[in-house]
Amino acid sequence: MERISVPLLGLLALALLTSCEALPVSALPSSFTTENIMKVHQGMSSDEVLRLFGKPKSIRSAVCGMPPDQWQCTTWEYGEFPYDRASFTFSGEHGSYILNNFDVDRD
């Protein structure tokens, strides 16, 4: 039986480790395709956003704008900071949200 030298075994292990690249994993749902992102536009309904991307990971309600033009806004967030993430900010009342602003950040 042949013996493999320790340095040679170390080199083989190093070659295996350096040849393996980590596969990119997105924190966003798989529905965040370029095709779906290109369908997003101001004025679309929250129901349309739900159909494209599914339920958000978190929902935040706030007052947006500056006095005297303040308005109630709701922001849906997908993904995970600081990784790939997306946010959609809506105006309007529950059940009739209209998209005002959006941001999709993916590597």
Go through the domains of the chain in sequence order and give each one's CATH number.
27-105 (3.30.1450)
Range with the largest mean pLDDT of 4-8, 30-34, 82-86, 93-97: 30-34
- pTM greater than 0.95 (yes/no): no
59-98: string of b/e by CB count within 10 Å (b at 16+)? eeeeebeeeeeeeebbbbbbbeeeebbbbbbbbbeeeebe
Looking at 1-15, 55-69, 89-103, which range is the least confident one? 1-15
What confidence tens digit (pLDDT) does each residue in 16-38 have?
Answer: 445 454 545 778 999 999 999 99
